[in-house]
Amino acid sequence: MSAQWWRALSLAALGLALAVAGPVGSAWAASSYLVVFVDGRTLEVTAARLLDERHLRLELGEGAAVTVPLLRVERVIEAEVEEEAQELTVPSCPTGFVAEELPQGVPFAGEIVRASRATNLHPWLVAAVVEAESAFDPWAVSRVGARGLMQLMPAVWVEQGVVNPHDVRANLQAGCRHLQGLLQRYGNLALALAAYNAGAGVVDRAAGVPPYRETREFLRRVLSKFCPGGVPAEVAKAAREDGPGSGG
């Protein structure tokens, strides 16, 4: 990202923020989005929407807007902050691959297991991320251009060499490689998931899980499916099946 381009964008946003400060300041904060760029910098906007396959339109308020290349954008999240953000309980469930079948009825189970094995990720973790990101819809496209099962932004799937982000196998493999890279970077499941949702720059700046409601709800959804109560989901399932009343 060129310094000149960023400087022009930042000055425009700053001027607009000053213009709307005062009586409407709370409205700005309540309906804003955080754009996270690939170099870690961020910009708060009133709206962000896909303009075409390669560009994102960022609304700065008061009728001002700017168009940016999608390849410059890592993530876009709602900027709403949890009023009383509580510390999230970080489970100790292992994230490495295990040869465990996914629950019956999970879509694309074979491809999820295959991608998980190739990247040393727990297939239940990958399935939980896919469910939270796209509800297992390979044709899902977000308002800001994230695509496919694992909702990859162009900056990620281009970096991973993916030609068609709606291809199930290619999307899963690229998304798993991206998630594994974040796990290696942070050495912590909660931080890796937060970075997957909000961008690494936001996690680095927060020095932990950021307070944004969208990110925290994403973590809760994934962890509740993959690691409920700090117990790996497949272990918890087996315990229920073998427990009292199971008839075994």
Which residues are identified as catalytic? 133
Bridge partners of residue 77, in order along the sequence: 34
Tokens of 121: 């990720």
Asked if 180 and 119 touch (Cβ cutoff 8 Å), the reply is yes
Asked if 102 and 225 touch (Cβ cutoff 8 Å), the reply is no
Helix (H, G, I), strand (E, B) or coil at 220: helix
Sheet (strand 33-37) strand order? 42-45, 33-37, 73-78
Asked if 99 and 89 touch (Cβ cutoff 8 Å), the reply is no
Asked if 77 and 198 touch (Cβ cutoff 8 Å), the reply is yes
- Cα torsion through 75, 76, 82, 87, rounded to 10: 0
Bridge partners of residue 147, in order along the sequence: 141, 152
Which residue intervals of the chain are DSSP H helices?
A: 3-20, 25-30, 109-119, 123-134, 154-159, 168-186, 189-198, 200-206, 213-226, 233-242
Tokens of 186: 């942070």
Tokens of 95: 């994230």
For residue 74, the Cα-to-chain-centroid distance in whole angstroms is: 10
